[in-house]
Chain A
């Protein structure tokens, strides 16, 4: 009996001690877990550029990190925002109120991201925007509660539009998706084109999403502009390029400038329709050994090569977890400050750092779509022409309208 009693007492003591140890380690982790919410379009127009693949990338990051931070396990939940700002904002409100979610990642449609970051600001949460394009997210819509990771409309315009004007494409017709992202991209492109000596001769704002682009392509043809700028994304861009080729737009001497084209778009359209298209990207799977290595691991899981957004989701989740580990807490404000202190240098980001407006700046790349003859495989789609250094790529802080920047 004594033996039994002793064993029992000992095990109780051990259990108590270990739970004490656990609670000291987790003292600063809210509810003893680091909870990440993945919010993205999982079924609509933007599914293939982030969607379930982005969730896989996030899960890879958590697994590579070891599944826990300072003894607190990492839990991911995910939801489909269906590209609706309302659905997105309500989901995140629920996550914060009921599920104690510490960080919200993914975030694709710009309108959703702007709504969600407002909720995060009101509730002192933390968000990392990876999929959205609107540069306003860290400009007039900046908050102390989010970071914008992969790219935005400023480098897209700065890279692609500048290169196109320099090649002689000095008159533009803009085909713009009629919502936050399209307007931001249109504004940024207009500025770059005019500063480079070009001119915007006309444009049309089409509803998002649009089924049939024939009418707009016809208007673009009638405008006489040399360049048709596509300030839209996803299925809309694919649709517009397909329709333009049916209407013989390029045969009649006009050229398309895709301002936001993802790897999956080029893959879907095929090289015949997209060859020689100039584009700006934040990352490309085949740009160097490090990238290829990660991309191959992703490919083995998903069966498709990752887009820059999916790679960025891995990179940002990893950086977040490192910051939580270093700060020893999942308190949003502390983690955000810690993230900004640590430089970002991984397979995705080169010369990366987070500015006070929440913009993660890193090297961007001007790329050209290969011709069918140049391509050696299904996913061999881009050639990287030049690097746009981090400092030059993004909107300078001196032009910022962000309330966090002292100008």
Chain B
């Protein structure tokens, strides 16, 4: 059998594939964070909780309203995103003129409230959300058995990442947004409603987190704490990629998933820390992040 660094080729390829799937999650989540930070300068610590809310909305929607997975994938990001719009309009906007730290504290507090409330009602053991029938089973890739659902997650997450990148970097709406954050007074003088744009952007970022939550629901036990441990990793990804860089978040998310996946083979004890080691290295050598622009 061909060996790569002392590990059979098949195992290596398998871990690479799984790393890519996890990386797609990181990419999707860090993308939302990067959009919100890049355009609104808000450090959204509620992102993990909003991801969790997405998974919960899918679960409860199915349990009480009979909403199936595909409908949830469409509706949940809209509903949770609308909730995000309310948060921005009534809370975040009031502190927009203050230091970033206040936004961080506010969103962190909100995250604790969302989590605590749900823990109170649902506990932490987690509930199961059934995989949609058409995505059950697995694909034999020769070197591994890949559950179909994970393959779907990879495709769906990447498609959503590309869509977001295209919207922001290649459309007129995206151009307005970017210009609005550069110089909002000038944009308003041109008749563009900048506050509305900002509110909608926050809603969109939150919707992205909820979308990732729905994707995650059939994979992991749906529990109120599912977002909090992920959040820190995702922040590290954003820092490595460069705060606010859209493409940076996507590429870094994928590559960190792979690095973490390989660590799980060679030295599993370090798999929770390896991303932070990379973060420290990047901060030392290139403080603006791999894809960040020098100020």
Q: Is the CB of B124 within 8 A of A215?
A: no
Check A197 for interface membership: any CB of B closer than 8 A.
no
In whole angstroms, what is the CA distance A145 to B225 when docked? Answer: 34
In whole angstroms, what is the CA distance A219 to B125 when docked? Answer: 25
Check A287 for interface membership: any CB of B closer than 8 A.
no
Check A264 for interface membership: any CB of B closer than 8 A.
yes
Residue positions of B touching A, CB distance < 8 A = 8, 10-11, 14-15, 18-19, 21-22, 116, 119, 123-128, 131, 138, 144-145, 147, 149-150, 219-221, 223, 225-226, 229-230, 261, 264-265, 268-269, 271-273
Check A363 for interface membership: any CB of B closer than 8 A.
no
Given contacts A215-B19, A235-B225, A269-B128, 7 further A-B contacts (CB under 8 A): A43-B116, A48-B123, A215-B15, A215-B268, A246-B147, A248-B147, A268-B128
Which A residues touch B18, using CB under 8 A? 212, 214-215, 218
**What is the total of A-B residue contacts with beta carbons within 8 Å?**
106
Q: Return the CB mask of A27-55 against B: 1 if under 8 Å, else 0.
A: 00000000000000001110110000000
21 A-B pairs with C-beta separation under 8 A: A43-B124, A44-B124, A45-B225, A48-B123, A48-B124, A206-B268, A207-B273, A210-B271, A210-B272, A212-B22, A214-B18, A215-B261, A221-B145, A222-B8, A235-B126, A238-B125, A246-B149, A248-B145, A248-B147, A268-B126, A268-B127
Q: A212-B220, A239-B221 are in contact. Are A264 and B125 (CB under 8 A)?
A: yes
Q: Is the CB of B220 within 8 A of A214?
A: no
Residues of A contacting B: mostly:
helix
Check A204 for interface membership: any CB of B closer than 8 A.
yes
Q: Is the CB of A43 within 8 A of B119?
A: yes
Q: Is the CB of B268 within 8 A of A268?
A: no
Check A325 for interface membership: any CB of B closer than 8 A.
no
B264: contacting residue among A47, A209, A216, CB under 8 A: A216
Check A205 for interface membership: any CB of B closer than 8 A.
yes
Check A188 for interface membership: any CB of B closer than 8 A.
no
Q: Is the CB of A215 within 8 A of B221?
A: no
Which B residues touch A235, using CB under 8 A? 124-126, 221, 223, 225
Check A297 for interface membership: any CB of B closer than 8 A.
no
In whole angstroms, what is the CA distance A332 to B220 when docked? Answer: 45
Q: Is the CB of B220 within 8 A of A215?
A: no
Rank and list the top 6 A-B pairs by shortest CB-CB distance, nearest first: A268-B125, A207-B272, A215-B264, A47-B124, A48-B125, A48-B123
Q: A247-B138, A268-B126, A268-B127 are in contact. Are A242 and B8 (CB under 8 A)?
A: no
User: Which of A43, A44, A215, A219 has its CB near the most chain B CB atoms (within 10 A)?
Assistant: A215
Check A265 for interface membership: any CB of B closer than 8 A.
yes
Q: Is the CB of B225 within 8 A of A44?
A: yes
Shortest beta-carbon distance from A249 to chain B in Å: 9
Q: Is the CB of A209 within 8 A of B229?
A: yes
In whole angstroms, what is the CA distance A247 to B265 when docked? Answer: 17
Q: A43-B116, A45-B225, A242-B220 are in contact. Are A218 and B126 (CB under 8 A)?
A: no
Q: Is the CB of A238 within 8 A of B8?
A: no
In whole angstroms, what is the CA distance A273 to B127 when docked? Answer: 12
In whole angstroms, what is the CA distance A118 to B125 when docked? Answer: 30
User: Which of A43, A45, A248, A252 has its CB near the most chain B CB atoms (within 10 A)?
Assistant: A43
A222: contacting residue among B11, B19, B119, B126, CB under 8 A: B11
Which B residues touch A270, using CB under 8 A? 128
Check A178 for interface membership: any CB of B closer than 8 A.
yes
Shortest beta-carbon distance from B63 to chain A in Å: 14
B125: contacting residue among A204, A215, A222, A265, CB under 8 A: A265
Q: Is the CB of A214 within 8 A of B271?
A: no
Check A211 for interface membership: any CB of B closer than 8 A.
yes
In whole angstroms, what is the CA distance A265 to B123 when docked? Answer: 11
Q: Is the CB of B268 within 8 A of A216?
A: yes
Check A267 for interface membership: any CB of B closer than 8 A.
yes
Shortest beta-carbon distance from A103 to chain B in Å: 26
Q: Is the CB of A267 within 8 A of B268?
A: no
Shortest beta-carbon distance from A204 to chain B in Å: 5
Shortest beta-carbon distance from A222 to chain B in Å: 5
Q: Return the CB mask of A193-225 against B: 1 if under 8 Å, else 0.
A: 000000000001111011110111011011000
User: Which of B11, B22, B131, B268 has its CB near the most chain A CB atoms (within 10 A)?
Assistant: B268
CB-CB nearest in chain A for B273: A207
Which A residues touch B226, using CB under 8 A? 211
B145: contacting residue among A47, A205, A247, CB under 8 A: A247
Q: Is the CB of B125 within 8 A of A218?
A: no
In whole angstroms, what is the CA distance A110 to B234 when docked? Answer: 29
In whole angstroms, what is the CA distance A178 to B147 when docked? Answer: 27
Which B residues touch A47, using CB under 8 A? 119, 123-124
In whole angstroms, what is the CA distance A204 to B126 when docked? Answer: 24
CB-CB nearest in chain A for B19: A215
